[in-house]
Amino acid sequence: MADPAPATFELYATLPSQIAVRIGRAIVDGQFQPGQKLREVDLAQSFGVSRASIREALRTLENEGLVTILPQRGAQVTTLTAEEVRDIFEIRANLMGLACQRLAASATPTVGGQLETLLKALRTARDESESYAHASLAISEFCVRNAGSKRLADLVLSFARQTARYTRLSLSTAERRKQSYAMWRDLVDALVNRKPAAAERHARALVLATRDSVLTLLEGAD
Amino acid sequence: MADPAPATFELYATLPSQIAVRIGRAIVDGQFQPGQKLREVDLAQSFGVSRASIREALRTLENEGLVTILPQRGAQVTTLTAEEVRDIFEIRANLMGLACQRLAASATPTVGGQLETLLKALRTARDESESYAHASLAISEFCVRNAGSKRLADLVLSFARQTARYTRLSLSTAERRKQSYAMWRDLVDALVNRKPAAAERHARALVLATRDSVLTLLEGAD
DNA sequence: CAAGTTTAAAATGTCGACATTCGGACAAAC
DNA sequence: GTTTGTCCGAATGTCGACATTTTAAACTTG
């Protein structure tokens, strides 16, 4: 049987981790709304496992920031205030800056070629909101995964997942996608030409631009 | 009835969180050595609780990076390679820079006064390794806790705890303490005079200097 | 005596049940 | 009509036990 996952994919055999992945995807994809209560007995029944496994999965998701657990009051999908969203984007901007600085300092021609392929895919996806969000996540993930620090990569992607719902929202306008693509082009240019300082600056600006767009939407929605 | 704890102190009543705090302190303080196995049954007996509570505490510590859990093989105190230590310090340097930038942008005279009190305590503690490490942690914690983002503060302090063992080691020489104090003086100056860019620069330099010192020690020990 | 195999002890993975606490509904008092 | 107190249902906290996997010691064999 062919393994659909690449060889670097860390296969966790334990039940709780598998369940955490599935619930986490449901939250990031928007199937579970913020504030929704996640009752252990319901989840245990729907997944066909015991409450102990569900509890452990919920702890994992709490660490990823997708779920909030209150003692004696159970778990719910994390609800972020506008200020918390702002904080997350600023942290992420800094860490993305660090990752891109390191990537620029160590980029090989091979990595450069892959970056330009991903940039081209981004350009092609500009017309459509969903596909652009997907391509944007792909190139973003490629950058941090090749920065030479698994810890840094996991951290950045964790924050990206926590705000994925809002990022998608902000990319629904063509104007915003155009701005995003222009900034990605600058960033990729700095990366393939091995300019660490410029790469850090552009990476920060890229994430902070998303922050501004998202916050405008959030304040307009109130 | 008077509440002995300040209003902002989040009191966790659950057993696992209390146990996680106690085990975590033992790891940070060096009572548990890196690589040491943490058997659930042993811990359960020594704390007088069931394995379920221990398991949850270990998950919490895993999220804090102090413990590493391998499926089917149990938990052990996290062992860091020199490269991982370097990564952690670089991430921490960036986040500390962000925190201090924000603190400088919003510092009130009250905060400025407290900073100078903590700096004076640091100066007094220069002669002794253990007391200097303690004072250094205190002013560092004050900075990030007053940067206006609990998420950022928890993150920075989490990384600081993961490398606390090595930071203490590096502060054992008087020369290193002198350098550290000089950099703290520059940083506090930038903070109280509300210079965000300078504060970020000095904060980064401060942590990166610790990184260099620690890495020299680690490579010398091999 | 060394190397490989078998086997038993020990540790983790998972489960179901009991104890405790929280939230809301209903009723009584002001 | 609003508020306060009580009670009941439901959800989480905690526990002990069984199933599965790992580990290492004992044993056999070349």
- In tens, the pLDDT along B99-132 reads 999 999 999 999 999 999 999 999 999 999 999 9
Q: Give the nucleotide at minimum CA-to-C1' distance from B18.
A: D13
Q: From the C1' of D20, which residue's alpha carbon is nearest?
A: B72
Q: Would the pLDDT of A47 be above 60?
A: yes
**The pLDDT of residue B56:** 93
Q: What is the DSSP string of B157-218?
A: HHHHHHTHHHHHHHTTSHHHHHHHHHHHHHHHHHHHTT-HHHHHHHHHHHHHHHHHHHHHHH
Q: Give the nucleotide at minimum CA-to-C1' distance from A41.
A: D11
Mean pLDDT within B69-87: 95
**What value, to the nearest 5°, has the Cα angle with vertex A151 and ends B74 and B72?**
15
**The pLDDT of residue A104:** 98
Contact B18, A19 (CB under 8 A): no
Nearest to A15 by CA among A50, A63, A42: A50
DSSP B78: P
CA B96 remoteness from chain centre:
11
- Work out the percent of chain B whose per-residue pLDDT is above 70: 94
DSSP A67: E
User: Which long-range contacts does A10-19 make (Cβ < 8 Å, 24+ apart)?
Assistant: A12/B71, A13/B71, A13/B72, A14/B71, A14/B72, A15/A49, A15/A53, A16/A53, A16/A54, A16/A56, A16/A57, A16/A60, A17/A57, A17/A60, A17/B71, A19/A43, A19/A47, A19/A49, A19/A53, A19/A54, A19/A57
Contact A128, A174 (CB under 8 A): no
Report how many helices (DSSP H) and strands (DSSP E) chain A contains, helices first. Answer: 10, 3
Which bases of strand C have any atom within 7 Å of the beta carbon of a protein residue?
11-17, 21-23
Task: Please indicate whether, in this complex, the C-beta atoms of A95 and B90 are within 8 angstroms of each other.
Answer: no
Confidence of residue A222 (pLDDT cuts 50, 70, 90): low
**Which tens digit of pLDDT belongs to each residue from A141-156?**
999 999 999 999 999 9
Q: Would the pLDDT of A10 be above 70?
A: no
Question: Which residue in A has a C-alpha nearest to residue B159's C-alpha?
Answer: A151
Which candidate in B10, B64, B94, B159 is best for mutational testing of the A interface (most A CBs within 10 A)?
B94
Task: Please indicate whether, in this complex, the C-beta atoms of A56 and B59 are within 8 angstroms of each other.
Answer: yes
Residues of A in contact with B13 (CB under 8 A): 71-72
CA distance B104 to B188: 9
**The pLDDT of residue A111:** 97
Tokens of B149: 């983002």
Q: Give the nucleotide at minimum CA-to-C1' distance from A13.
A: C13
Mean pLDDT within A35-61: 94
Burial of B205 (0-12, 13-18, 19+ CB in 10 A): middle
Q: Would the pLDDT of A12 be above 60?
A: no
Contact A32, A165 (CB under 8 A): no
- Would the Cβ of B75 be found within 7 angstroms of any atom in strand C? yes
**What is the average pLDDT score of chain A?**
92
CA distance B116 to A19: 50
Q: Would the pLDDT of B9 be above 60?
A: no
- Write the single-letter amino acid at A40: E
CA distance A109 to A38: 47
**What value, to the nearest 5°, has the Cα angle with vertex B87 and ends B82 and B91?**
150
**The pLDDT of residue B175:** 95
Task: Please indicate whether, in this complex, the C-beta atoms of A97 and B97 are within 8 angstroms of each other.
Answer: no
* B155: contact with A, CB 8 A cutoff: yes
Q: How far is B53 from chain A (nearest CA, A)?
A: 11
Q: Would the pLDDT of A5 be above 50?
A: no
Residues of A in contact with B87 (CB under 8 A): 149, 151-152
Confidence of residue B5 (pLDDT cuts 50, 70, 90): very low
Confidence of residue B8 (pLDDT cuts 50, 70, 90): very low
Tokens of B170: 């590096």
Q: Among partner residues A17, A72, A151, which is closest to B88 by beta-carbon distance?
A: A151
CA distance B48 to B61: 19
- Work out the percent of chain A whose per-residue pLDDT is above 90: 90
- Work out the percent of chain A whose per-residue pLDDT is above 70: 93
Helix (H) or strand (E) segment spanning residue A97? helix A82-106
Task: Please indicate whether, in this complex, the C-beta atoms of B97 and A95 are within 8 angstroms of each other.
Answer: no
Task: Please indicate whether, in this complex, the C-beta atoms of A94 and B95 are within 8 angstroms of each other.
Answer: yes
List of protein residues whose beta carbon is under 7 A from strand D: A 37-41, 51-52, 55, 69, 71-75; B 14-16, 49-53, 72-73
pTM exceeds 0.85: yes
Mean pLDDT within A163-172: 94
* B97: contact with A, CB 8 A cutoff: yes
Q: Would the pLDDT of B7 be above 50?
A: no
Q: What are the residues facing A108 on neighbouring strands? A: none
Sign of CA pseudo-dihedral B142, B148, B153, B156: negative
Task: Please indicate whether, in this complex, the C-beta atoms of A55 and B60 are within 8 angstroms of each other.
Answer: no
**Which tens digit of pLDDT belongs to each residue from B186-214?**
999 999 999 999 999 999 999 999 999 99
* B95: contact with A, CB 8 A cutoff: yes
**Which tens digit of pLDDT belongs to each residue from A57-86?**
999 999 999 999 999 899 999 999 999 999
**The pLDDT of residue B14:** 84
CA distances from A49 to A6, A16, A31, A178, B136 (A): 28, 9, 21, 46, 48
| Strands of the sheet with A67-70, listed across from one edge | A37-38, A74-77, A67-70
